[in-house]
C-alpha cells in the first residue's frame, strides 16, 4: 500500500519587523516573497525557495529562538539541500555571514549554520 506523501513543512517565525525579515531572506538567501498581508506594509508574509517555505509574522511579542530557551536545541530550522557546498558559495557571494562554517558535523551532517535578522538559527545541509 502506498503511503500519502508530504510535500514539505514550514517553520512559523515570530519576527520584530516583517519588512526587515523579508529583506534578509530575499537578499541574503535568495527566497521570494510569495505572500504579504497587507501588501504595502505587511505584518505577515511567506517566503519560499524551491521546496523550503517560512512563515513570518510580527505580533506583540519578541522572537524567542530555540537556543535562548535550551542551549542543546540550537536550530530553529533544518533546511535540507543536496549540495551544501554550492549553496554556501552562493550565500557567501550574497554577503551572508555564517555562525558555523561549512563543515562535516559530529552528528553525521555536512552543512553550515546562519542566523537570520531575528536571531533564528537555520542549518542548511544534508546527511553525509
C-alpha cell of residue 81:
539541500
- Residues 19 and 33: beta-carbon distance below 8 Å: no
* Residue pLDDT, tens place only, 13-67: 999 999 999 999 999 999 999 999 999 999 999 999 999 999 999 999 999 999 9
Residue 94 to residues 12, 40, 91, Cα–Cα distance (Å): 24, 25, 5
pLDDT computed for residue 6 by the predictor: 84
* Residue pLDDT, tens place only, 75-120: 999 999 999 999 999 999 999 999 999 999 999 999 999 999 999 9
Residue 61 CB contacts under 8 Å (≥ 6 apart), including other chains? 14
The radius of gyration of the chain from alpha carbons, rounded to an integer in Å, stands at 15
- How far apart are alpha carbons 45 and 54 in whole angstroms? 8
Q: pTM of the full predicted structure? A: 0.93
Amino acid at each position: 500500500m502506498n503511503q500519502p506523501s508530504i510535500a514539505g513543512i514550514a517553520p512559523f517565525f515570530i519576527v520584530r519587523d516583517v519588512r526587515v525579515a523579508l529583506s534578509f531572506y530575499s537578499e541574503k538567501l535568495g527566497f521570494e516573497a510569495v505572500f504579504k498581508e497587507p501588501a504595502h506594509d505587511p505584518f505577515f508574509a511567506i517566503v519560499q525557495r524551491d521546496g523550503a517555505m517560512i512563515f513570518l509574522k510580527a505580533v506583540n511579542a519578541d522572537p524567542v529562538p530555540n537556543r535562548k530557551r535550551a542551549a542543546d536545541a540550537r536550530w530553529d530550522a533544518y533546511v535540507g539541500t543536496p549540495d551544501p557546498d554550492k549553496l554556501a558559495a552562493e550565500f557567501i557571494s550574497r554577503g551572508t555571514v555564517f555562525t558555523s562554517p561549512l563543515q562535516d558535523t559530529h552528528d553525521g551532517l555536512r552543512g553550515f549554520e546562519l542566523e537570520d535578522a531575528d536571531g533564528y538559527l537555520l542549518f542548511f545541509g544534508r546527511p553525509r
